Structure 1
Amino acid sequence: MSESGSRPEVTAHGSTAATPRATGGSISAEARSVPGTPRVPRPLIAIVQGLIGSLMMFVGSIGIGWIALGSPMVRNPLVIAMRTEGWGIVISTVLLTFGAMLLMRSWVRLGQRLTGWPEGSLRAVVTAVLAWSLPLLLAVPIFSRDVYAYIGQGRLMAAGENPYTTGISTLDNWFMLGADPAWAESRTPYGPVFLWLAHLVVRVTGAQPDLAVLLFRVLSCVGVALCVLYVPKLAEMHGFDGARALWLTVANPLFLISFVASAHNDGLMVGLAVAGTYFAATGRPIRGILLVTASIGIKPITILLLPFIGLLWAGTNASWPRKFATWAGTAILSFGLLLLSGIPYDLGPGWILAILDPTPGYTGYSPSGFLSMQVNRIGDAVGLPGGDIAATLRNILKYLGIGIVVLLMFWGEGQRSHRVVRRMGLAFAAVVLLSPVIQPWYILWFLPFLAVTGIKDNWQVRVLYVVTGFFVIFGAQDQLSVWPYIEVSFNVSTIAYVVALAFTGYLMFLDPHTKHVLIEGGPRGWLERRRRRRRVR
């Protein structure tokens, strides 16, 4: 996803737009001042539609979201009916899935309605983020129940245990508080700062699951707010429209579902990283290092950003001695603070283990996981140790991602802030995409850094549509909670999948607005351009 040029081009929405610097959303002052040009072409319609979708998800979450068995909500008559009666489970599944897909459509339509990104667009996008987030802030956790594991981490801290060496299964009543059994013996993958926050949440709430989930959501929403504040600023300083960058990232349904509804701590991690990058890019490197170090303290994966923060500190046209000096200064300051952060509660350097010992296994939809599965089958078919070869392939791809990070540290087009932040995003993307395990929200780790340096309104934004849609559909049919002792004569995942697939078909082939995104503006548009070239010849 590189910078776009200055030529006019047909947008993904079927209209022709001339962009002065990038189809990533820049718009000239002359274009903004044309008499009679509407400031914002009715974005309220898309915002209201998205709000309806978000409200549907809120209602659906009551019957199919993740509720801790120890929550007082399970004794509410309405909740009991929606989670034990067949009609309640079906309605909840349909509402949750249809609402998620309606939110997806509203996001696409908001971008279409704001094509050209005139004055007032940023306010419209911020309004959409607020409107779509509020129902999700109050919903039962959906698409993931990791937030209940955070309660377990905080309880370990309160009990004087070290989450880097002890699993939550050592705690009484841990399963009743909603955590997935996969967390029973797992060491925490989080940084010391987040463990402090988890301890604080448990102390404030007494580990009451509903209140604890709400506070963890508030923490994640702090990260969302940081992105709302600094994503537009980073984009504008790089010559791209801030409203469009915010629409691509924070208004994205996957972003709101993952960081608000699911309450993943990754939201706070990403927000701190984006804020730190902004300060480093604007000549305040110490503040930038402190914020990125805080991000590492939430989840250590953002340690990958430190070399590029050092390059931003070095500045444009810096000599190699200066680059090495700023890299050393960045490392000393950041690692020193992280080592000090392990002293309280005797956590030690456990965050290093979280980096060196990542989540085991692989996901079948990751490039690494998918390729290794095929290699495994082929190897077994020809009498070779397919499992060993597949494991080796996954390791090779993982280390290839790390190699790309090192390469982008030392090589790139110039040292201007835009180029460095772009390389930062590409390095982060390489590590994520070549990892054997990719969770849906991992895509959001690097998306802001690509958005603020320009995502073209062509195949690049369509790839984002496809990836977002895939993970929204995946979460809607994969992460559904049905109590194990409830007997139903249907498969709720199948219902969700059918609803999501039918809605996707409508968006692609029937909806007169959104079908341009993947069909008329995508493959069909490419074929039309090929035909025109042949006629010219």
Structure 2
Amino acid sequence: MNHSPSSTSHGAADPDVPKSIAGAHRGGGGAGALAPILTGTLGACMISAGSFGAGAQAGEIGLAGNDALAFLAIGSGAVASMILVWLGVILCCIAWLALGKAVASGTAVRWWVVFAAWAIPLLPALPVFSGDAWTYLAQGEMLSGPADPYVDGTGAAGGAMSANVHPDWRFTPTPYGPLHLLIMQGTAALSGHSAWPAIIGLRVVVFAFLALAAVALSRLARLTGASRDHALWLGVANPLVVVHLVGGLHNDAIILAFALLGMWLSVAAAAAAPPRLRWGLLAGAGVAIGLAGTIKVTSLLLLPFLAWIAGRAFFRAFARGVWMTAFAAVTGAIVTLASGAGIGWMDALSVSDRVVYWIALPTAGAHLADWIGVSSFENALAIARTLCMVAGALMLAVCWWLARPVASERDNLDTLRSRTGGIFAWLTIAWTAFFVVNVLSWPWYWTVAVGTLAAIPATYKGAHQARALAVAIIVFQLLATDPGGTPT
């Protein structure tokens, strides 16, 4: 993959981006963006309203026992709610694509208006397209009780949150790290351990981390030479974020924020002249990735790629990578001690193997082998998962090696952008390969890959095709589960 660096500062001389885009964020709202914003708001309102009949149902909220609302979840009311949610999703996609067209034409966009208009209507909604939020909150409550979330399922906890967990997960330990438990424990406690207030509180947490993600991506795009407006449109305002992170309340919103923060700090370190500032920024990047790792340990895959950004020569990159890794490890140890849950979260990572979901390549391959009569599904799944695990490790190693910068490059803004763009391109490919061959792949996993892609300038060869593929992936992944969280 060959890349050519952008020639000047932030977006101004990018031949693929109109000049008006570079300064669009300095201006006002822009009438061209109003229609997409309002369309997305209507879509979000429809999803929110439909969630009470078609979302991840919760008896504790009272729909089943409330005569005035019970019709939303049964019979024709449930069908109407399902249609309302899907129409809302379609409107969100239409609004997003229209906003992207407006941004490409140079329309000024106030992104805080976009995020507020598309996210706030979902504040009171029940979780949609997944019931994981109930599991999250029940796991947080377990941290304060006698049950061990890394040994016991949420069924051992009792209480309002546990009552709403899907039966498939009530006896499954959590694969998430200690920071996940601390955040969920605090959210459940502040809600008074009441189901609906806890959902609203968790959505506020998601809002906060998505705001951090937007700030970090904006700063990162400025350093890499990408258009800030294009980056925010693709990386944070896309329907996967709106529907699955805001609507579904997945902890991937936290991972996305810390991942983009770590990426920004690592690029800022490479651009910083004073050595002390450089090492301090690298330490901050290590802390950010360490925090992401205490949500999902797979986030640590970022570290070897960020090491290439930190240093052009192999041994310099290695030393700085070790520096970041050390801070990530210390961060993980501190969070683990603060949670009081011990290191059981490392042993619980294997629980993901219990999920058999067709959208994961090894599962799809096993279904195909069973269908054509080559092997039974169980045997084919075991073989496919082993082969995919080996292939995934090899692909990650190859992507990391191909991402290495040219050691003879001189340190200046253009070469830094060239190096960073190439590294992020291979990192995006690595994320994609990992999600495709992983034993488990859910739609919301892809938000971090799309966020990485968003920071790559349009001047790099293949960037336009990659963005078109990202749009296709986003639309496809939106169809992978139904509003209640069941795979389609």
In the alignment, structure 1 residue 431 sits paired with structure 2 residue 425? no
> 337, 347, 369: which one pairs with 1:343?
337
Q: Which residue of 2 aligns with 1:418?
A: 421
CA distances 1:128-164 after superposition (whole Å, capped 9, x unpaired): 2220111112212111110000121122111043211
Partner of 2:480: 474
Change (3 A) 1:117 1:5: farther
Matches of 2:162 and 2:22 in 1, distance apart? Answer: 59
Instruction: Give the partner amino acid of 1:403.
Output: L
Question: Secondary structure at the residue paired with 1:475?
Answer: coil
Flag the 1:176–1:29 CA change in 2: closer, same or farther, 3 A. closer
Report SS of the residue matched to 2:237: coil
1:286 pairs with one of 262, 283, 288: 283
List per-residue Cα deviations over 1:100-124 (Å, max 9, x = no partner): 1111111111111222335x23x2x
Counterpart position of 1:58: 48
Q: How does 1:457-536 map to 2 (within 5 A)?
A: 458-476=464-482, 479=485
Q: Take 1:429 and 1:210, find their aligned partners in 2: how far apart are those partners?
A: 35
What corresponds to 2:126 in structure 1?
140
Distance 1:246 1:211, change over 3 A: same
Q: Is 1:168 equivalent to 2:154 in the alignment?
A: yes
Which AA in structure 2 matches 1:376?
D
Q: 1:186 aligns with which of 168, 172, 176?
A: 172
CA offset at residue 41 of structure 1?
5.9
Pair 1:221 & 2:211 matched: no
How does the TM-score come out when normalised to structure 1? Answer: 0.77
CA distance in 2, matches of 1:346, 1:256: 33
What is the distance in 1 between the residues matched to 2:32 and 2:15? 24
Structure 1 residue 278: deviation in Å? 0.5
Secondary structure of 1:117 counterpart: coil
Question: SS in structure 2 opposite 1:132?
Answer: helix
Measure the CA separation in 1 of the matches of 2:43 and 2:158. 38
Cα 1:30–1:347, aligned 2, differ >3 Å: closer, same or farther?
A: closer
Larger Rg: 1
Q: Structure 1 residue 368: deviation in Å? A: 3.0
Give the share of equivalent positions with the same residue, in percent: 23
Task: Give the one of 443, 448, 456 matched to 1:445.
Answer: 448
2:300 aligned residue (286, 289, 303): 303
Task: Give the equivalent residue in structure 1 for 2:388.
Answer: 397
After superposition, residues 98-177 of structure 1 pair within 5 angstroms as 98-118=87-107, 120-121=108-109, 123=110, 125-173=111-159, 177=163
CA separation in 2, counterparts of 1:22 and 1:156?
Answer: 54
Give the match's secondary structure for 1:248.
helix
* Separation in 1, partners of 2:18, 2:285: 29
Q: Is the 8 A contact 1:164 1:187 kept in 2?
A: yes
Tell me if the contact between 2:369 and 2:376 (Cα under 8 Å) persists in the aligned partners: no
**Contact persistence 2:50–2:85 (CA under 8 A):** yes
Alpha-carbon contact 1:69-1:176 (below 8 Å) kept: no
Note the aligned Cα RMSD (angstroms).
3.0
Shift of 1:22: 6.2
TM-score by length of 2: 0.84
TM-fit CA distance, 1:329 = 2.2
Residues of 2 paired with 1:30 and 1:58: CA distance? Answer: 32
Is the 8 Å Cα contact of residues 179 and 339 (structure 2) preserved in structure 1? no
1:275 to 252, 261, 265: 261
Name the SS of the counterpart of 1:342 in structure 2.
helix
Q: CA distance change for structure 1 residues 441 and 2 in 2, over 3 Å: closer, same or farther?
A: farther
Q: Give the match for residue 503 of structure 1.
A: none
Structure 1 residue 192, shift from structure 2 partner: 0.6
Question: Against the structure 1 CA distance between its residues 374 and 475, is the aligned structure 2 distance closer, same or farther, given a 3 Å change threshold?
Answer: closer
Q: 1:90 to 1:360 in 2, by over 3 A?
A: closer
User: Where does residue 272 of structure 2 map in the other structure?
Assistant: none
The SS at the match of 1:104 is helix
Deviation at 1:306, TM superposition (A): 1.6
Taking the aligned partners of 1:376 and 1:2, their CA distance within structure 2 comes to 41
Per-residue deviation, 1:444? 0.9
- What is the aligned length? 456
8 Å contact kept, 1:53–1:99: yes
